[in-house]
Amino acid sequence: MNFNNTLTKHLEAMSNKQFETFMSTVCADRITLIMPNGTLISKYEDFYELHKQWFSDSDWSIDYTILNTIESSGLSSALLSIDYKDLDENGKPVSMTYYLNLMFEEIQNEWLLIHDQNTIYKK
């Protein structure tokens, strides 16, 4: 599978809340996640649990626009604009717009996510 196919698989799995498919695109040996609030997650187990809980929540939705991609022989990245909608603990709608920067590495002929960075911006 090439980079673009993997990116599409990753993003569609996220949008459709397909946890196992999403995780199949993530490098278990090394993953870095930077949350919108600056929290750093660098253990696969923590990344896994956070996304397992997130995907099990049925009241969020996400729309994205790919702003650009950079492809090379071993590392490739995608920069996206994200429009995220959710409900808070009181059922009140909340939304957030942010940049999502994804970096994938080709490992044994498979493209896997190694870096996921989220940065909030205002429209």
Give the model confidence (pLDDT) of 87-107 as tens digits.
998 999 999 999 999 999 999
Check residue 41 and give its pLDDT: 98
Check residue 1 and give its pLDDT: 83
Work out the mean pLDDT of the chain and round it to a whole number: 96
Check residue 45 and give its pLDDT: 97
Mark residue 79 as left, alpha or beta (left: phi above 0; alpha: psi -120 to 50; beta: remaining). Answer: beta
Give the model confidence (pLDDT) of 68-92 as tens digits.
999 999 999 999 999 999 999 899 9
Check residue 48 and give its pLDDT: 98
Give the model confidence (pLDDT) of 14-43 as tens digits.
999 999 999 999 999 999 999 999 999 999
Q: Whose CA is closest to 83, among 74, 93, 73, 75? A: 93
Average pLDDT over residues 57-71: 96
| pLDDT category of residue 62 using cuts at 50, 70 and 90 | very high
